[in-house]
Amino acid sequence: MTGRFLSFEGGEGTGKSTQLRLLADALRDGGLDVVTTREPGGSPGAEQIRRLLVEGEPGRWDGMTEALLHYAARRDHLRATVHPALDRGAWVLTDRFADSTLAYQGWGHGLDRALLERLDALAIGGFRPDITLVLDLPTPQGLARAAGRGGPEDRYERMDLTFHERLREGFLDIARREPGRCAVIDAAGDPDHVHRSVLKVVRERFGQFLASA
């Protein structure tokens, strides 16, 4: 049986990584084979591309170059990590996927949706997760949380507030357009509270596989 593919999306500091870990633990406790991964990255080649994208000056790349790099990384991630895991029946949880390119490079940097859809079709054939959990938080709150993390991977965090406000709108728009795949989760509460909302959505969608999770 082929596995299931779930993505977590959202702006900076929305708690995606924490929620991904909590969901992975719950699914493993339920006896499932779970693989956790992230974008950009998730395979040795894509992790190398990640460094080009998340480090350095905000103006280092224009929007189109960024989109090409993200899709090069995504294609490698799918080939080396995601598809092999799905083929053996694992549940793959990814911290970001293609919606991030539409939100960041599309809504954030102003790249045309039709162009990004063409690039997506070319690079990954329109492949999408079974479920996408969009964690939503007022932008200033998310940026404040993200600023507390520090480290060299701050290229996107340093882009201006209006950039981050646009991409939040982008994620909400994606969720409105694809309600069958996407669920918006209010990420303002404490992690346990948000986790319960995530579990509720996952159970509604995949209840038959989650008897004990």
Binding site for ligand TMP (CB under 6 A): 12, 38-40, 53-54, 70, 95-96, 100-101, 104-105, 156
**Nearer CB in complex with ligand TMP: 81/101:** 101
10 to 30, 86, 166: CA distances (angstroms): 26, 24, 12
Position of tokens 């993390």?
149
**Nearer CB in complex with ligand TMP: 91/156:** 156
What's the min distance (Å) between Cβ of 141 and ligand TMP? 16
Return the closest-CA partner of residue 135 out of 182, 78, 90, 68.
182
**Nearer CB in complex with ligand TMP: 38/75:** 38
Return the closest-CA partner of residue 43 out of 6, 72, 4, 64.
72
What's the min distance (Å) between Cβ of 72 and ligand TMP? 11
**Nearer CB in complex with ligand TMP: 51/176:** 51
- What's the rounded Cα separation, in Å, for the pair 143 and 200? 27
User: What is the edge-to-edge ordering of all strands in the sheet holding 91-95?
Assistant: 34-38, 91-95, 4-10, 131-136, 182-186
What's the min distance (Å) between Cβ of 8 and ligand TMP? 9
Q: What angle do CA 150, 100, 40 make, to 5 degrees?
A: 60
What's the min distance (Å) between Cβ of 32 and ligand TMP? 24
What's the min distance (Å) between Cβ of 212 and ligand TMP? 30
**Nearer CB in complex with ligand TMP: 47/130:** 47
